[in-house]
Structure formats: C-alpha cells, structure tokens
Structure 1
Amino acid sequence: MSRTRRDVLASLAGVGVAGLAGCTALDAGESDSDDPTLDPAALREVMELGSPAFPARVPAPIADSFLEQSRGRARELLDSCPETMSPEEVPNEAVRNVYAEAYADATAALAPSDTDESPFETLQGLRYARGAAAMAKGTYDAAVGDLTEADVRDEAESVRADIESFQRATRYLGNDPDRALVVYEAVENLVAGAARSLDNADEYGRYADSAPRVGELLDAVESARASLDGAHHVRDRYLASIADPIDFTDAFASTASSLGGVTEDRRAEYPEERGLEAVVAGEGFDLEQLESTPAKDLLVETFVEVERGLRDAREGLRSDRFATALVGAHTAETHRRAFEDAVTAVKRGRYESAESAAAVRDAKLGALEALEAARSDGSNPHLTRRALVDIAHMVARGDGYFRDDYYEDGDPRAARNALAQYATAEFAARETPGVSAWVLGTLAAERGGVGR
C-alpha cells in the first residue's frame, strides 16, 4: 500500500500528535469552502506541523573525548580571568563593558545546548565557544598589561603555517567515494574556516589599538586553532576506520574540473546580465504578471542556489579543495534541474498565488514528502544526505516567515514567501538523488581513466 502524505509526515522527526491535529482543521477548510482564506490560526498550524530533522553530520566517528577536550579548552581560557573587571584594575569603562559582554558571550556558549545536536554540530559549535572565551581572556590580559598585539600576531602566524602545512599534505583517501567526498568536504570547510578566521580579523576588526583589539585577534587565533583541530580529528578518525584506503586524489581533481566545466557551460545557457530577473524573463515569463506571486519567488530562489553552487565550485577549484568543488557542482546542478522543474510547473499555472492556508500546507507537505523520499534513497546515501541538510533549512526558513515580527498574522506576503520556500525545497529534494548519481557516476568513470 502506498504511503499517504500524512503517513510520511508522521514519520518525520519534529512532527507529533499536536502537529497532526492541525491537519484536520486545514483539510476541513479546504473541502468546506471554495472561498480563499489566510486565516492566521490555520497558517500557524502549517508552521506547527514541524520541520524535518536533518542535523549536519559527517560519516566519521567523532570521539566524545575530543569534544570534551575542546570544551575543556574553552573553560580553561575563561577560568583564567575574572568574571568582572574592577575600575581600580582597569579604569577605562569602555574596555570593561566590552569585557563584560565577551565574558557573557563565552559563558552562554559553554552552557548546555537545549537542542539535539549531532557530534559534528557540537564540534562546529565549540569553535565559537573557544573563540568567545579567547576574546574575554585576550581583552583582560591586554588590559592588565600581560599580553600585546604583537604576541597574538606571532600566534596567528604559527597557526597560519599549520593550516598551510595541513593543506599541502591533503590526499583524498578512502574505500568508498560517496563517504570520502562528504568527509573531505567537511574537512576542507573546517580548514577554510580556520584561514577565514585569521583573514577576517585583519579585514573586519571592530577595535583598534586597544585591549579589545587584542581580544578579538586572540578570538580569531583560537577559533582558527579549533577549526584546524576539528579537521585533524575528523580526517584522522575517518582514516582510522579504514583498513586499506585507496587514493582518490587524482580522480577527485579531474572530476571536479570536469563537472565544474559542465556546470559553467549549463549556466552559460541562461542570461548572464541584469540579474536573476533576466533569467526568469528569459524563460518567457512576463515579470509584471509574476510580481507578488509565489511563482516569481520560487523561480528566483531556485536560481540563487544555482549561483551559490557555482561560486563554491569555482572557489573549490581555485584553491584545490576538490571535495568542496564537487559538492558545489552538485548544488548547482540540483538547483538548475529544480529551476527547470519549477519553470514547467509555473507554465502549467501552478504557484500563481497563495490562495489559502490549505495551499500553503500542501506545499509544505510536498517538501516534507520529497525530503523523506530522497533520504530513503539508498543509492548514494552520504552525498544525498549532505545535500538534503541544506535543502531542509529551506523548510525552516519558510516556517520563519510566520514568526517574523515584520508580518502581521495572516499577511499574504508571509504565506507567499513561505510557500515559495517550501516549493523550492520540494523541487530540489526530488532532484537530489539523481544528481548524486551523476556526480559519483562521473567520479567512477574518471577513476577508470586514472589507473583504477
């Protein structure tokens, strides 16, 4: 027997009895009246259906001991300085205020989370906790004369050298290209985040020639060190789980270059100038007629993701981060296909308006259904799930429109924007398994040409 939408919805994490109870009222509203309604209570029930649970994770065994060690490092930094600065110790009130804020931020970052995080999400979050604690310590130590900007810059150069050493030594090893691709993309993102922390401290610093300036530099150094520690741990734990790893480096590099070229060629088939509206108009749509419709938001939002994927693919190729480039190509192609699907749907008269809460509900159920179907596809589970993490966030963004204080209850703009987000998620999720097969199939073909 085939599963109904309600069956699928009930199977998703985050959807309980209370959420399902809201479906009945919306169903009744749809069947009892043809009069369009955007009843605020009915829209809230759409939001309360819940969002799919797709926590970010990596297919490598992250050790609890590593997470506790990282958490301990943040506590050590914070415990080495007092809770408050006294006016006698630091007469400058502005510095004391910055320190108080930094100490509070670090304390909050170390508080137990009220959400169910994956070990990988915890690892990522501890980068912020360590950086926030370092901001407090750096500000305090500089204010009392124990630390200088030159000291911290020496540390920064040491961490930067470690980042570059890690990058030079990178090889793409594994026994399963699907798993290896997701692991190394996570590792590359952590390393890139480490470098970005150091770069941003120089480019976007809030303070100059002051104790808080030393604090924000130490924040950048500690955040970078935490990211690099995470990259080492994920890679090393992954490799320790493989008895006889294969070197995929040449295949990753050649496939990233090949698929990067394919995605660039496909992007070139659309207008390059005058922004995303030109892309929509190029499909034969009258932009004035589409204005203030879910259709326009759907088409534009979908192509925004094409551009994001292309940007990641280009940057990955430029910096020899080949796993990042491959995931970027996956994103670009997924959403390009989703855009074409959306074009067809809009030309058939769909998404002309958010005419009722029931229509918004159906769009959300369509997204949840598509996400669950893609998650259940077992052909390339790691890459597919990695892509679905980003797509699932669109459902949460759709829900967010109903919480946004900018909109009044029942505001049709909130319903329209939410519907467009849900529809974007549905089209992208439906295309994801096929694009995973395309990427990994191309990688398998390239391996045949590089001695494997």
Structure 2
Amino acid sequence: MPRTRRDVLASLAGVGVAGLAGCTALDAGGSETEDPSLDAATLREVRELGSPAFPARVPAPIADSFLERGRARARELLDSCPERMSPEEVPNEAVREIYAEAYADAAEDLERTAADESPFEALRGLRYARGAAAMAKGTYEAAVGGFTESDVRDEAEAVRADIESFRLGTRYLGDEPDRALVVYEAVENLVAAAVRYLDNAGEYGRYADSAPRVGELFDAVESARASLDGARHVRDRYLATIPDPVDFTGPFEATASSLAEIIADRLSEYPEEERLEPVVEAEGFDTEELESMPAKDLLVETFVEVERGLQDARDGLRSDRFATALVGAHTAETHRRAFEDAVTAVKRGRYESVESATAVRDAKLGALEALEAARSDGSNPHLTRRALVDIAHMVGRGDRSLGDDYYSDDDPRAARNALAQYATTEFAARETPDVSAWVLGTLAAERGGVRR
C-alpha cells in the first residue's frame, strides 16, 4: 500500500520539522459526543514523533570565551571544596547530605551547559551551574570555616548596586527594530532574573540559621551575578556589531503603551470575571457540554495566554522594560487571534471528541506544520522566532500528557489533553507572522514610517 502524505510527514517529524510546511492538517474533531476506544500503540507513536527543535536564541554573537569563563567560574567554586564532607569535619549528617546533593547538582548543571542547543541557552544555563556550585561552596565554607550570612549579604548588596548601575546605563540602541527588540527583551529578562534571585533570597529559603542557609544565599548571589554578566555580554556584543546605532527608547515605550491599550480594549468585549467559563459562555457555548471535549481545553489555553501576555505588557511598562512589554503585547494578540480561530473551529463542529488515535497524530502534525511555516516566514524573522520558542513548548506539554503515568495507555482524557495542546500550537503558530508584522508595523508608524 503506498504511503500517504501524512505517513511521510510522520517519518520526518522524528528528526525535525523542516520540510513540513504546505500540508493541511485534518480536522481533529467529530460529531460524536463520546470518545471511542483509542489505539494505545498509535498514541505511543504520536509521542515518539518528538517535539520540534526551537532552542532559545538571541541575534547577537555570543563569544565562546565568555561561556568558557562562566564554566571556569563554576569549576573554580567546585574545585575549592571536596566532593563529600567527612564526618570528622562536619558531624551533622543532614548538612553532609545537603552538601553532597548540591555538589552533584552543580556538576550536572555544568555538564548540561556544554550540551545546550544554542549559545544563548548555554549562557542562560551558566547561572544555574554557577549558582549550584555556589550553594556547595557556601555550605562547605559555612560548615568548616568562618563564612557567614553577613558576608553573603554584603556581597548581595554589591551585586544589587551593579544591577542598578547596568540598568540605568542601558538604552535601547540598535540597528533595526526586529533584531533590537529581541536582543533587549533577552537583556531585560536576564536583569529581571538577577533581581529576583536577590529578592527571593531574603524571603524564601528551605533552611534557617544553618550552613545550608548560607549556601542558598550564596547561590542566589552567584546566580544574580551570572545573570547580570550574561545581560552585559549580550548587550555589549550586540552594540559592537553596529557602527551607527539608532535610539529606540521612545518608540519602544510609546508603541508598547499603545498596543497594550488596544489589546485591553479588545479584551473588554469579554466578561471581566476571574473564571473563564463566562468568556466561553459569551461565545455561545454550553460549558457543561464542552467539559469532556478537547474544545474546552483549546478555548481555555488560548484565552489564558491572552491574559498572560497582556499582564506581561503592563508589568513591562510599569518597570520600564519596554522590550518585554512589546513581546508581551505580541503574545497577547497572537493568542487573542488564536482564540477567535478556535471559537470558529469549534462552532463548525471541530474538536468535539477524539475520533481516533490517528486524529491525535494528525493534530500533532498540524502543529508541526504550522510551526515550520511560521519559522520559514522571512518578513520579521527575529521576533517571529522568539514567539515560536514559547509556542513550541506546548507540543511538549501534549506529549507529556500522552506519557503521564496518571493515565492508562488508552485513557481518552490523555488524548483530549494532548490534542488540545497540539491544536493550540497550530492556531497560535499560524497567527504569529502576521502579529509580528502588526507589532513592528506599529513601531514603524510611531517612528514616522521608518523601518530602521
């Protein structure tokens, strides 16, 4: 029997998603209200198709020497203390066990940075490796030496001052908006992470008045320092590639504010309640009838992301993180459009049930096709790809539903959850390039029609 086009796509999906664009996904729903028995072997094959490769990237040249310095810092911290504490050094067994776990975690995190799929992922991973190594180092020095909470808090204040100095000294200088927006959103995220590490160290902690407490504080300080180092490197390496930079500060702020207002106005058409049921009901659906359908999760997933994106936009504006605000507006509008697409599809009878395991497979292939088609769009490649990194994670969530030990192999709930995640991915990915054009087109209009 000749293979169908879907069979060919399935064989490609196991090694990547390149070449999937151009195929139309089959309807994943049907008219039945009860899920039929599903073929467990086919569902396992759906999961084994794998997830698309969308490693996080930033359009700035990250130096190998920078990454190696970060790894060297983690190794330095680890090499200065033993792999295990001896009972003679530290009689407290609980402290010894905590230390051994921290040491092992640091070694594992350090090894992982060498295997990351992109230099930017490795850069971000260094904060975990350095932090875990500092946890081990701080615990050891507090247990056998004179390292104290006071010492660590002094370091924390010095790092906090460095963060503020960096933040105040950073303007949105760049070459063209698509690239600049993604670079500065990455810089802002790294700086925000550095602040969170320091803030959380004072509020949360597993240990109190102990050597491990000193260790976890030192972990927070080192993680913050590593995040700040990463932010500085990305910004400086980006600016080094631009001979005549443009200042986007004012246009970024004005555009983010304008888009957040537009999206908020569009959301005002929906009921303003904490629960999502009124929103779904406002579209003419009976939530009780939807309860056992993939349609329910599809509608909820898309709308939740609208609210999350708008909150990111508002938070970014309040904290003067204008690139973050713009990306948040992009997320909100992408999923608002995806929600409208989903509403139309459900009203046409799609996603009422999982007809078969093959329907789940078709839904996943539809998601992979949409992701690849969006990635292949060259109009605004940096912002579009940045958005797709977040969207592609939903495919993995669908896969995990199929592999969740909570469900039996043929449990229809697992298939419904997976299908909804794949469908959400497809709808959002399809809208992404147009939303990128909307965001950057609005920014160009704010700058008087200037694309650069």
- The verdict on how the C-alpha distance between 1:410 and 1:275 changes in structure 2, with shifts beyond 3 A counting, is same
- The verdict on how the C-alpha distance between 1:63 and 1:13 changes in structure 2, with shifts beyond 3 A counting, is farther
8 Å contact from structure 1 (residues 309, 332) kept in 2: yes
Q: Are residue 405 (structure 1) and residue 366 (structure 2) matched?
A: no
Q: Distance in 2 between matches of 1:440 and 1:46?
A: 36
The CA RMSD over aligned residues, in Å, is: 2.2
Matches for 1:197-346 after TM superposition, within 5 Å = 197-346=197-346
1:81 alignment partner in structure 2? 81
8 Å contact from structure 1 (residues 374, 433) kept in 2: yes
1:341-362 C-alpha deviation (Å, 9 max, x unpaired): 0000000000001120111111
8 Å contact from structure 2 (residues 114, 122) kept in 1: no
2:15 alignment partner in structure 1? 14
- The verdict on how the C-alpha distance between 1:348 and 1:439 changes in structure 2, with shifts beyond 3 A counting, is same
Gaps of 5+ in 1: 21-25, 27-34
Q: Distance in 2 between matches of 1:221 and 1:310?
A: 31
Tell me, what secondary structure is at the counterpart of 2:402? Answer: coil
1:172-207 C-alpha deviation (Å, 9 max, x unpaired): 111110000000000000000000011111111111
Q: Distance in 2 between matches of 1:4 and 1:313?
A: 41
TM-score, normalised with respect to structure 2: 0.92
Q: Are residue 364 (structure 1) and residue 364 (structure 2) matched?
A: yes
User: 1:143 is matched by which residue type in structure 2?
Assistant: A
> How far off its partner does 1:209 sit?
1.1
2:117 alignment partner in structure 1? 117
Return the structure number with greater relative CO, CA threshold 8 A, min gap 6: 2
User: 2:41 is matched by which residue type in structure 1?
Assistant: A
Q: Distance in 1 between matches of 2:417 and 2:294?
A: 6
Q: Distance in 2 between matches of 1:129 and 1:122?
A: 10
8 Å contact from structure 2 (residues 14, 49) kept in 1: no
> How far off its partner does 1:310 sit?
1.1
- The verdict on how the C-alpha distance between 1:448 and 1:284 changes in structure 2, with shifts beyond 3 A counting, is same
1:59 alignment partner in structure 2? 59
- The verdict on how the C-alpha distance between 1:112 and 1:430 changes in structure 2, with shifts beyond 3 A counting, is closer
> How far off its partner does 1:115 sit?
5.2
Percent identical among aligned pairs is 81
1:264-293 C-alpha deviation (Å, 9 max, x unpaired): 111221111141122111111000110111
Q: Distance in 1 between matches of 2:410 and 2:116?
A: 31
Q: Distance in 2 between matches of 1:379 and 1:5?
A: 28
Tell me, what secondary structure is at the counterpart of 2:403? Answer: coil
Q: Distance in 2 between matches of 1:13 and 1:286?
A: 38
Tell me, what secondary structure is at the counterpart of 1:58? Answer: coil
Matches for 1:154-169 after TM superposition, within 5 Å = 154-169=154-169
> How far off its partner does 1:111 sit?
2.1
Q: Are residue 131 (structure 1) and residue 131 (structure 2) matched?
A: yes
8 Å contact from structure 1 (residues 398, 419) kept in 2: yes
1:23 alignment partner in structure 2? none
Q: Distance in 2 between matches of 1:8 and 1:116?
A: 27
Q: Distance in 2 between matches of 1:278 and 1:390?
A: 27
1:90-129 C-alpha deviation (Å, 9 max, x unpaired): 1222211211111111111122569551111111111100
Q: Distance in 2 between matches of 1:9 and 1:113?
A: 31
User: 2:15 is matched by which residue type in structure 1?
Assistant: G
Q: Distance in 2 between matches of 1:82 and 1:314?
A: 47
2:49 alignment partner in structure 1? 49
> How far off its partner does 1:14 sit?
2.9
TM-score, normalised with respect to structure 1: 0.92
1:108 alignment partner in structure 2? 108
Q: Are residue 395 (structure 1) and residue 359 (structure 2) matched?
A: no
Q: Distance in 2 between matches of 1:174 and 1:253?
A: 15
> How far off its partner does 1:9 sit?
5.8
2:415 alignment partner in structure 1? 415
Q: Distance in 1 between matches of 2:156 and 2:353?
A: 53
Count residues with an aligned counterpart.
435
